[in-house]
Structure formats: C-alpha cells, structure tokens
Structure 1
Amino acid sequence: MESKSSLAPLPEENQNEDQQFDDPKPSSASAFSSKPIRPPTKTSSQMYSPLDWKGYFDQEDDVCIPDSNDVFHVYTAGKEGPVVFCLHGGGYSGLSFAISTRVIKEKARVVAMDLRGHGKSATENEIDMSIETLCSDVQAVVKTMYGDDPPAIVLVGHSMGGSMAVHVAAKKMLPSLAGLVVVDVVEGTAMASLIHMQKILSNRMQYFPTLEKAIEWNVRSGNLRNIESARISIPGTVKYDDAQQCYRHRARLAETEQYWKGWYEGLSDKFLSSPVPKLLLLAGTDRLDRALTIGQMQGKFQMIVVRHTGHAIQEDVPDEFAMLILNFISRNRIGPRGVEIPGIRRPSQPQA
C-alpha cells in the first residue's frame, strides 16, 4: 500500500521569496524548520563586469607634451618614496599594474603610463612604434611631469614595455634612474616568437558585443589568470567601434610589424650594460638566452622565477609582484635621496 510522505515538497528555485515564505504561522525555533538561505549565484555578466580603477590608483591625468599634439594618459598613486614608473606590454594598458599598485603605493609612488597607441593616450602617429619613438615618449612624459629635478625612478617594464625600459636605461635617458625591472621578456625567446606574431594576432577574437565579453574572453583564453585584474585592465585595452557597433582591440599591433625586430634585437647586451641595479622576473626557467645565463652566473643582475603564473606576472599574481618590487627597492637602498626606505622588509638572502 502506498504511504503518504510527511515531507512538504521543496519550493522551485525560480519562485520568489514571498512565494517560498508565505506561511502566516510564526516560525519555529528549530534549526530545521526553515530553508537555509542559498548564496546568490553570479551570472556571467556579473562575474566579468568591469571594475573602476579608483579602488587601486589615486588619480588619473593627461600629460600634454610641449611643442606637440601628443597627450599621454597616466595613472598615479602614492605620496612618498621613489617613483615606480610602469610600462605595459603591447596590447595592454597602464591599468595592467592596478592591483599591484594598491600594495606598492604604501611605500613608494607609482606612475603607470598608457603607451602610444594604447589606452587613453592620444598621439599624432599611433602606428610609429619604433623603439626610438617609444623611448622618447617615456623621456618626454618624465620631463613634463617632473621638470629638471626628477625623483629617483625605478623603471618597470612588461614584455614590449620591458624592452622599452632596457633601451631607456642603456641610453641613459633618465638622469635619476635608480633601478630597472624587466618582466618576462628576453631577447632569444622574443626574437624567435616574432614569426608567429601575425598569426597569433589574427587568430584572437577581434570583436566583442560588450565589455563583459571582452573580459570573459581574456580570462577563458588564458591571457589573464586573475579575474579581478582582468575586470580592471581589459576595458583599457578595447574601444567601441561605432561602425561595427561593438568593441575591438584598441592597439593596432598588426600594423606595426616593421618595428617588432627593433624592440628586441640586442636586448640582452643592453640589459647587462645598463648602469643601474637590475631585476629580471620570469614566468619560466626556459627563457634565458646564453648572454643572460652567463650574466646571471656572474651576478650582474638579480633573477627571480615566479611560479604558477602566465606571461602577465603583474596581473596574475599582483600581490607577489608588488612585494618583489618593494624588496628590490629595499635591497638596493633606492629612495628619494638614494637611501633605504624605512619599513620595507629586506629579503634575508638573495633570490635566484
């Protein structure tokens, strides 16, 4: 004989709260008498919604270069200490350094620049991305911001920005340069990859109906592994196309191929000859070429391999990246007057 169950049927998940809890009788004190509240599930659009930079940087500014129509957009933070001047990679933006800035600005100042043809910067010729032009841009921005008495500067460059930082350092273009940090770029690997770059650029998704979809694609494709960082930085790498009524990549990298070789050729020797303390951050051990291997064995620079991260180390593990930068500053006693900054932990032993 069929027996009747004494259990009430569970409410459907799509019922609203009033439908689920419309019993007029007073609630029982029993812990089992009511349905526990289930945490809301985030939709895809919520998970990949853009985040404002204001929670990370202190302000944004346009730096107008005298005697030209070039305007470079910068994000800044911090009030004391040396200036950590950040140069992003090709196709990225200054917002690539947003989360790490939240930590760095407690001990130093940060300037993250949108390079020519990227982010919110506006220049007369966005396709002229020769290494000479890019380096002159950095020099002009520093000169415009700080005049003839710039503070101690630590140049931090990722990928293409790393090659810029090396060239600026090797050419002694910044008189107050006190340190050089290069993030995941070495000459050998970069030169070998150039023949594949056009294919990589053409195979990536070109158009996005919303900013959320652009962020989601960059995370799901593995370009970035940190969703929070992607939600901040990716909006700065795309622009709305009125004709196509969608978003597309801001940087026209495919049109700059003639300059790619100049970014990386001779990079290792220039890095080793730069007359300032140097740190090379790598995402893998297989990326050192012969010149760097010999230089590292001779103690000419500090090298740290950052595990469990992709190419964009500063975005994938921003807190670890920030501490590596601050430890580098402390180790080399870099400050406004070349002295150690109080409160920054110095590493107990050199990291290799």
Structure 2
Amino acid sequence: MSALQKTIMKNKLPPRVPRTSGVSKMAPFGAGRRKDYTPVSWKQYFHQSVDVEINAGTFRVYLSPEPDHPDRPRIVTLHGGGYSGLSWSLFTEEITSMIHCQVVSIDIRGHGETKVENCDDLSIETLVYDIEQVLHKLFTDGIPPLVLVGHSMGGAVAVRVSLQPSLEHCIQGIAVIDVVEGNVRSGQVRNVDSARVSMPSQIINCETGKLAINEVESYTSVSDESLPAPTRHAPLADRIAEESDGEADGESETCPEDTVEHFVKPSAVGDGNSSMKYKWRIELSRTERHWAGWFRGLSAAFLSVRAPRLLLLASIDGLDRELTVGQMQAGRCAVLKAPFLGKEVARVVAAFALRHRLTCPTELGADMQLLHTVPGC
C-alpha cells in the first residue's frame, strides 16, 4: 500500500481518544495508582488515650471526644487477634460524624500498648475479666450505656462481656463482625488508610523494644514509588482464574478494584539505618491453645444476649445452624451481609443504633437517612 493510500485510509478513521493520564498503555496492572504508606498519628482520629490500671496490668484505651449528653452510648470496640485498638481509627472518625456517641477503643491483653505480666494468656475467661475490670475502672462514676462492637476474637469477647451480671444492665446493643462458631473466618484489614494508623501499634522496634507508634512523628513519606517493584506480574487471565477458584470455595468476596492492594514486602523504614528492624507485637501462634475456647458455644451465647444484636458477615453462607434458625425467628438477631469497605461498617452500626433509639443522628447523619439506606439493622 502506497503512502497516499495510507493517508486516505487514516482520514476515514474516527479521531483517537485523547489520553487522560501519562500512564503508558503497556503499564502493568495497577501501576497507575500511587498510594501513600506514610504512618499516621492516632491523634488525628482520637481525642486522647488513657492508661487504665487494674490488677492484671495497664490497659491502653483510646477515646473520642465525649458526647453532647452523658446518656449517649459509649461504643466499646474490641479488635481481633494481632491488631490493636487503633484498628478502629477510621471507624471512629466515621461513626462519630453520623451519630452522637463516644468511641472507647481498648488494646486487649498482649496487644498494642497494653502491658501485663502474662501476654500469652488469651483464654476467653481472662479476656472477659480484663475488659470488665477496665470498664469499671474507666467509668468510676457509674457505667454509662454501652454498645459493644467486636471483630473476630474481639467479637467473641464482646458476646461474653455482655453476659456478665455486673455489666448486663448497661449493655444497650452488641454488634459482632465475622464471628460465627461454625465457620470462623480470619479477618484482614484491606484498607490502606486504616493500616497507616494501626500498623505502628502492631510492630515493635527490636532495638528499643518499643512500639513503632512512638516513632510515627519521625517517619518520612513512604509511597509505593519508593518500594521495590515486583519482578513480574502474573498475566491478568491467571490472576482472574486464581481469584475465581477462591470464590468458588467460598473463601473470598469480590472487592472493588481500587480497594485491593498487591502486597509488596517493604524494607525497614526509619532514619536511614539499615540495621533497624521490627517484629510483631504478639506471636499469635503461641496463643493457639486458646483459639477453640474463643468460639466454642459462641452462637448460643450470642442468641442469649438480651440487648439488641447485630451480626455482620462477609457472606451469609457462613451462618451455622443456630444462627440460621435465630435469623429466621423474628427479633432474635439481625444478620447483615456487608462488604467491609470504607465507611460501610460504621454506617451499619450507626443505623443499628438509630433503629433501636440508642442515640440521635448528627446533622450529617440526618442528611444521610441511615435508616433508609441500611435496611435490616
């Protein structure tokens, strides 16, 4: 074909769509996104932290600002194994903007800044006793209305705490996330913004023996541009096939593309000293003997709680027999499938509190019409 013929043919083609970014069309999957991994101080999400002394040791508690009225509920958040009270940072920011409440986020024994003699004793009896004592010591003038919210291990603790005689009259509601005795799933924090706040409370500087949370102010900016790039990406078709296999087995849920992060092991981050290394705050494998006790009899215990109950699951396929029957019997419990992304969990818990008239919405919460947008709570 001559040059003249090529020119004539090109003129008959529709105009090219202009590129909206400088990313090459051959760029690997996900290369167009730039995420900031710089640690963030917890002070952006909580008003203060207090160290509560009980017989077992010192427990770190993070508090949002006090509510506008003493009768407003305190939402007590209990994290899962390996995490800390700071895992609820974004949840705290969201829910306090929707309803009038105060968030009380506790570092459970062996986690975060809580200091006890026996960090490996994570038996359900010990954990429940710890939380019960912390609440009594924290609210010396009388325990206000409480709404317990727990994830995984924290959910199991929340259920048992709500049944304690000394607290039962104060519990106005309970919400547990991804906790089913017959099909316990391991939770993962897939939110980068949440990890930026909570991760420093989950690792210890091997040189100083202190949590990385104490070094946040000195961290330099870290983005995925500064992290080593993967040597190669699996073909897109292969990645889709692997994900489909997991979903077929009921092991994963579909997430929007922009919330899924491809993990890259980072180098140590600090003041440039390559010898600085970190280790996990708690070695969960040493607590394995307690795992069965966390969830044994949990479904029956959850259904026996007198206060309004909410169970949030990534998939309703995870319901065991007792909870399936409980869901079918009106009034015994509310079961809701939630994607656990962004502000969805906070919206569901806020709607749950409003539906049972535990508090009032803020101006923003009223505009969101939570009771209409989150049915079934």
TM-score above 0.5: yes
Structure 2 counterparts to residues 65-84 of structure 1, below 5 A: 65=54, 68=55, 70-80=57-67, 81-84=72-75
Task: Provide closer, same or farther for how the CA distance between residues 235 and 342 of structure 1 changes in structure 2, counting only shifts above 3 A.
Answer: closer
Q: Measure, in 1, the Cα distance between the counterparts of 2:361 and 2:133.
A: 28
Q: Measure, in 1, the Cα distance between the counterparts of 2:74 and 2:113.
A: 21
- Which secondary structure state, in structure 2, belongs to the residue aligned with residue 334 of structure 1? coil
Matched with 2:284 is: 253
Q: How many residues align?
A: 271
Structure 2 counterparts to residues 234-273 of structure 1, below 5 A: 234-242=199-207, 245-273=276-304
> How big is the shift at 1:171?
3.4
CA offsets 1:300-331 (integer angstroms, 9 cap, x no match): 11111013xxxxx3xxx241211111111111
> How big is the shift at 1:86?
0.2
Matched with 2:192 is: 227
Structure 2 counterparts to residues 178-189 of structure 1, below 5 A: 178-189=172-183
Q: Measure, in 2, the Cα distance between the counterparts of 1:303 and 1:78.
A: 30
2:42 to 53, 56, 68: 53
- Which secondary structure state, in structure 1, belongs to the residue aligned with residue 335 of structure 2? strand
**RMSD (Å) for aligned C-alpha atoms:** 2.7
Note if contact 1:117-1:252 (Cα within 8 Å) is conserved in structure 2.
Answer: no
CA offsets 1:220-250 (integer angstroms, 9 cap, x no match): xx94321111111111111112398411111
State the AA in 1 paired with 2:329: Q
> How big is the shift at 1:46?
7.6
Q: Measure, in 1, the Cα distance between the counterparts of 2:66 and 2:309.
A: 24
> How big is the shift at 1:94?
0.4
Q: Measure, in 2, the Cα distance between the counterparts of 1:130 and 1:238.
A: 22
Q: Measure, in 2, the Cα distance between the counterparts of 1:78 and 1:132.
A: 31
> How big is the shift at 1:78?
2.8
Structure 1 moving runs of 4+ over 4 Å: 340-346
Matched with 2:335 is: 303
State the AA in 2 paired with 1:188: G
Gaps of 5+ in 1: 1-37, 198-221, 308-312
Matched with 1:33 is: none
Note if contact 2:42-2:89 (Cα within 8 Å) is conserved in structure 1.
Answer: yes
Task: Provide closer, same or farther for how the CA distance between residues 305 and 46 of structure 1 changes in structure 2, counting only shifts above 3 A.
Answer: closer
Matched with 1:86 is: 77
Task: Provide closer, same or farther for how the CA distance between residues 249 and 137 of structure 1 changes in structure 2, counting only shifts above 3 A.
Answer: same
TM-score (norm 2): 0.66
Matched with 2:242 is: none
Gaps of 5+ in 2: 1-21, 24-30, 210-274
> How big is the shift at 1:148?
5.3
State the AA in 2 paired with 1:121: T
Matched with 1:285 is: 316
Structure 2 counterparts to residues 70-149 of structure 1, below 5 A: 70-80=57-67, 81-106=72-97, 107-147=100-140, 149=142
- Which secondary structure state, in structure 1, belongs to the residue aligned with residue 343 of structure 2? helix
2:152 to 131, 154, 159: 159
- Which secondary structure state, in structure 1, belongs to the residue aligned with residue 52 of structure 2? strand
Task: Provide closer, same or farther for how the CA distance between residues 259 and 123 of structure 1 changes in structure 2, counting only shifts above 3 A.
Answer: same
State the AA in 2 paired with 1:79: E
Q: Measure, in 2, the Cα distance between the counterparts of 1:46 and 1:274.
A: 42
Q: Measure, in 2, the Cα distance between the counterparts of 1:137 and 1:86.
A: 14
TM-score (norm 1): 0.71
Percent identical among aligned pairs is: 41
Note if contact 2:347-2:370 (Cα within 8 Å) is conserved in structure 1.
Answer: no
Matched with 1:276 is: 307
Q: Measure, in 2, the Cα distance between the counterparts of 1:341 and 1:223.
A: 29
Deviates more, 1:178-187 or 1:103-112: 103-112
Q: Measure, in 2, the Cα distance between the counterparts of 1:273 and 1:240.
A: 43
Note if contact 1:170-1:271 (Cα within 8 Å) is conserved in structure 2.
Answer: no
> How big is the shift at 1:170?
2.8
- Which secondary structure state, in structure 2, belongs to the residue aligned with residue 189 of structure 1? coil
Matched with 1:327 is: 351
Deviates more, 1:51-60 or 1:236-245: 236-245
> How big is the shift at 1:172?
3.8
Deviates more, 1:342-351 or 1:142-151: 342-351
State the AA in 1 paired with 2:76: F
Note if contact 2:156-2:294 (Cα within 8 Å) is conserved in structure 1.
Answer: yes
> How big is the shift at 1:59?
1.1
Task: Provide closer, same or farther for how the CA distance between residues 64 and 318 of structure 1 changes in structure 2, counting only shifts above 3 A.
Answer: farther
State the AA in 2 paired with 1:230: A
Task: Provide closer, same or farther for how the CA distance between residues 346 and 99 of structure 1 changes in structure 2, counting only shifts above 3 A.
Answer: closer
> How big is the shift at 1:84?
0.3
Deviates more, 1:170-179 or 1:112-121: 170-179
CA offsets 1:59-83 (integer angstroms, 9 cap, x no match): 1111111xx2510001110321210
- Which secondary structure state, in structure 1, belongs to the residue aligned with residue 135 of structure 2? helix
